[in-house]
Chain A
Amino acid sequence: MRENFGFEIELFIRDRKNGFLFLGVTLFLIGLLFYIPYQQVNDIHDKTQKELHTVRNTISSFPVHIVEEDPERYPVYQDVLKESQLIGSQEVALTFYNDLKEYTSIGLELAQSRLQAHEKGYESFNQNFFVPLEQSLRESVYYEALEDQNQLIERDAQSSSTYLVLAISAFSSVFFVFLLLLTSDILTKDDAHSTVIQAYPINESQRLFGKLMIYVTATILTIVGLFAAGYVLSLIPFDAGTMDYPRVIYTASGYEAVSTSQFILRTLLIAVFFTIHTTLLAAVLNTLLKNRYLTLFLGSSLLLCSFLFSRIWAFLAYTPIDYLNPIGVLDGATSERFGQSEIDYSRALLIYGGWSLVYLLVLSISFSKKHRSSRMRKEGGQ
């Protein structure tokens, strides 16, 4: 068993494809260091300007000749005016007084006024013009946490802790494809050197277990190492930021603010579950299809399915198809996009775990079948 372990580790390291994939992650992390200042990601000044434009367009979408004479016909008109006024004072606090505390407290008021307007039927007028309910909920939790902990809001994403969070969420959307590429030949690559494999006195389930251990440990360790290195590297161009800075996550009881370090811990846990799940999925596809590219295509079509059907078919929330972007599940983007409030963090862990057991069952059935047929062949030969 131990010799086989060593052999598998060497295979993993020598596979040039794996090296390229991790090189890709490195390039992504370095690229993000330049991308954040170039595209001015999360710049609050930009955000306020955009909201100001949007709210002006919203006001002009009310027919002026009616609103002036009979404001009662549009009950949300007053709310929109109030919103415009609040965003205006946010801009003043930011550009004239440079007062981030004031900006935060007005932001909280703004988010709450939007929530009230949503109760009145804000969106019934025309939903293109209004900030969606989910975003208002998220912002109100975020501003509230900032006020409670007496922290200053960040002006843009140029701080190391935010860089780390942004890198995690951006990478998460391609994490599934990344894992598929990494594991698409997890079993089929043995065909290239089957005589060496047969020399080890272990059966197929033991071999799969070994592979699973190596793939999951090596992937998680390398990625954590790379992201940690990226964090250290980002200290050069950016401010350090703080690991207590609030991040909004989605739980069964709604949106909730947690500190950055908590966010990263949860990310780690969900990433481990997700890696185990996807590695086993690739192993199942490998046994069924016996071709690495078909594994890759069929795996990616699951991702395609989630884009096409997850909004329509609610039962997909019981399959892994709705959970292919782990950080999207964690921060609530998935449940918002698919319109299913029950997709959250703890549910995702259950789904990954449960489906991993299903894959194990499929694999053990197929292994025992193979075993029986090969034994029968041997007995028949005697």
Chain B
Amino acid sequence: MSAYYIFELNAMIRNKKNLAAVILFLLATLYFVFVIDPSYRPDESINEVEIQQEYDEMSHWLENYQGEGLSSGATFALSYFPPLVEINETRLDAINQQDFKAYSTASAEWYRYKDQWIYSSPEFLSYNKAYYGIDQDYPLQEGRYWYLNTATRYSAYVDRNLEISPAVLEERTALQTGARVWNSSIFPMALIGLVVVFSIDIVTKDRAHLTVVRSFPLSFAQKLWVKTAVVLTAFSVVSVSIFAIGLILVSFREGFGSLSIPMTVFNGPTLMEEHFHTISVGLFYLQSIGLMLVIAYLFIRFIILCSLLIKNEYFNLLIGLTVIFTERLYYIRGIGYFSTVDLLPSTYFRVGEVLSGYQNHLYNSSAISFEIGMFSLIGTILIVEVFIILVSRFKSIRAII
């Protein structure tokens, strides 16, 4: 069995297509590290100028206000401004003294206070401008999500007694950057794409040299298991090492960070502060890797099944790439509460967004979690396995290898 494993692994490494995919992946990582990431500006950044502006504008207005004939706008400002001026004063002092613990405490308070006011009177106030736009249909929900998210995160930093630096607050350290990358929708999709590219010809290539393959004294099912193991190994080694390269390169710029840094998770369904909690970055990585490996296994077995049935690698490529994007077909914002999207495996392909709860926020659901994702994916794997067993009973299909 191990001889066959090594034989297959060798074929895998020497395959030009796989090599090209790995190089493409590496280039994309380098592009991210050297071009995209340095210009990263978080929506909730530490912006002294902006705080100063808000502070100046409000305190100036309060000082010069004469109090003749209260307009509705003035009444509003008189009750809204004073606490904000105080909080901003604390924030500015903290920045000047480089006391980021005090800054985090005050900023968490600032986010909660602002969110409360803006969400209850959106006709007068607005969230951070970044959440508004022509394509953004739910700016208030988006603003509330990120304000509460940031407030929870900042409070957790203070509670855990971490050493807080601007890089940690803006999620710039290597480990936090990695978590942000998982949280984007493109990275998990690219990883699944890599699995697809690796596995499309793993069965069909044998048809070119049947005599060599048949010389191994293994049963049909055993051969398929070995092939699965080979793709899974190659995929894990390639993705982990490229990810590690990326982490190390980023850490030269902003420091490595620590696995115990908390990050926010949203349980849904409604946007309230008690539905936000934090987990450590380390746990987040463990969960994402676990979920990703199960997804990779599902895709490999699915593509093996397709290879047995259709015997064409282009078909595998097409169907594999199509399946990655199936979520787009049924995605409608906020339908999660009324439907069973949380049982469909394709809802979990965007691993990072599932684990951080952003998927819950988009679907307005509370069921899209690690546990239910595992349940749904393993259920699908069982279905695929049953099909593979059924299909391999036919002699004509077993004749492929």
Query: Which residues from chain A sit less than 8 Å from chain B, CB to CB?
Result: 16-17, 20-21, 24, 31, 35, 38-39, 50, 53-54, 56-57, 59-61, 64-65, 67-69, 126, 128-132, 135, 181, 291, 293-294, 297, 301, 308
Contact = CB atoms under 8 A, between A and B. Distances in A.
Given A57-B139, A65-B74, 19 more contacts: A16-B314, A20-B312, A20-B315, A21-B318, A31-B329, A54-B134, A56-B122, A57-B132, A60-B125, A68-B74, A69-B73, A128-B132, A128-B133, A291-B16, A293-B16, A294-B17, A294-B20, A297-B21, A308-B31
12 contacts: A20-B314, A31-B329, A38-B330, A54-B132, A57-B132, A57-B140, A61-B126, A69-B73, A128-B132, A291-B16, A291-B17, A297-B21
A17 B133 CA distance: 42
Given A61-B129, A64-B124, A65-B76, A17 B314 contact: yes
B271 to A, nearest CB: 17
Interface in B1-33: 16-17, 20-21, 24, 31
Nearest to B140: A57
A190 to B, nearest CB: 17
B221 interface: no
Interface string B294-323: 000000000000000010101101100010
B124 A181 contact: no
A288 to B, nearest CB: 14
B123 interface: yes
B315 A69 contact: no
A181 B316 CA distance: 12
A56 B137 CA distance: 12
Interface string B107-150: 00000000000000011111001101110010110000000000
B71 interface: yes
A64 B117 CA distance: 14
Contact of A181 (B31, B137, B318): B318
B77 A65 contact: yes
Contact of A61 (B76, B132, B317, B329): B132
Contacts of A38: 330
B123 A60 contact: yes
B61 interface: yes
A126 B317 CA distance: 44
Nearest to A16: B312
A65 B79 CA distance: 12
B329 A35 contact: yes
B286 interface: no
B30 to A, nearest CB: 13
**Which of A38, A65, A67 neighbours the largest number of chain B CB atoms within 10 Å of its CB?**
A65
B76 A64 contact: yes
B212 interface: no
A128 B122 CA distance: 17
Nearest to A297: B20
Nearest to A126: B129
B318 A24 contact: yes
Contact of A60 (B124, B317, B329): B124
Contacts of A61: 126, 129, 132
A128 B130 contact: yes
B332 interface: yes
A114 to B, nearest CB: 12
B20 A57 contact: no
A64 B134 contact: no
A198 to B, nearest CB: 21
Nearest to B20: A297
Contacts of B139: 57
Contacts of A301: 24
A255 B322 CA distance: 35
A59 to B, nearest CB: 8
A291 B137 CA distance: 46
A322 B139 CA distance: 32
A132 B134 contact: yes
Given A60-B122, A60-B124, A61-B129, A17 B312 contact: yes
Contacts of B17: 291, 293-294, 297
A47 B133 CA distance: 14
Nearest to B132: A128
A181 B123 CA distance: 52
Contacts of B72: 68
A39 B332 contact: yes
B60 to A, nearest CB: 11
A129 B132 CA distance: 6
Interface in B21-78: 21, 24, 31, 61, 71-74, 76-77
Nearest to B137: A50
A221 B89 CA distance: 71
Given A31-B329, A57-B139, A128-B133, A69 B71 contact: yes
Contacts of A64: 73, 76-77, 124
B16 A294 contact: yes
A130 B20 CA distance: 43
Contacts of B314: 16-17, 20-21, 181
Contacts of A21: 314, 318
B137 A297 contact: no
Give me the 4 closest cross-chain CB pairs, A-B, nearest first: A293-B17, A17-B314, A68-B73, A65-B73
A64 B74 CA distance: 8
Contacts of B123: 56, 59-60
Interface in B350-390: none
Nearest to B78: A65
Given A24-B318, A31-B329, A65-B73, A128 B129 contact: yes
